[in-house]
Structure 1
């Protein structure tokens, strides 16, 4: 059972259930090509404490998507679940995989310069370019 700060969630088929502790009440969106291809759209994510708990990890797949990061997904239904730095310094969990995703306010969009022109969000958000993200996180610059 999750504690008061941890929130439950799962993949589409329920084979991977988790609890994670969000660092704040904000949902962020990544428009980089890797996240768009992996998630089938913009990656809607919530930054969480790195100690995410997976109830049954037999259906959990891990894909090393770069030298610095890996992505977690359900091997049964294919749901994209999380992105994390290999060194454990940063974990982001799919906002829509939480049981109550409406609790997160839409706060920011990153890699805004990678967003294709065929969609836009109406919400006012903070927007950061790839250069701004690489300056903030030099370990992911590639």
Structure 2
């Protein structure tokens, strides 16, 4: 399986990271917490966080029983969403250096998607219940 490293940084440059991905896939989360966190759906790339520099600037918010969110304490940029049980990371795609090969292929918490927006892409759509079931199966 091919692995790609995508590099990125926060707005002020105090935190830099590398996310190792297996494909340039993006997902959108429509849950109320993600929408409150970023003002709209959270568009993320998922993979292994292989490098994080500027860790002294990283702040963690314990956002739920199962997840936490990292942000830069200096500029406030959203850095990652991390599952507590597995350490699984999702990084906002806007944080990563530009690439034209990203493909939006899934949407989660679709039951929470408000009626005022809709993506035109044909994607896999999962409810929150389906998402939790997939992560429990491993």
TM score, norm. by length of structure 2: 0.88
Query: Which has a greater percent of strand?
Result: 2
Aligned position for 1:30: 29
Aligned residue pairs: how many? 135
Considering only aligned residues, what root-mean-square deviation do their CA atoms show, in Å?
1.8
- Paired with 1:73 and 1:20, the residues of 2 have a C-alpha distance of 16
1:111–1:101 Cα change, 3 Å: farther
By how many angstroms is 1:87 displaced? 3.2
Aligned position for 1:12: 11
By how many angstroms is 1:29 displaced? 0.3
1:25-64 aligned at under 5 Å gives the runs 25-49=24-48, 51-64=49-62
Aligned position for 1:75: 73
Give every structure 1 segment of 4 or more consecutive aligned residues whose post-TM-superposition deviation is greater than 2 Å.
none
- Paired with 1:123 and 1:36, the residues of 2 have a C-alpha distance of 19
* Correspondence for 1:98 among 83, 92, 96: 96
Structure 1, gaps ≥5 residues long: none
Q: Is the 8 A contact 2:4 2:22 kept in 1?
A: no
- Paired with 1:59 and 1:134, the residues of 2 have a C-alpha distance of 31
By how many angstroms is 1:130 displaced? 1.7
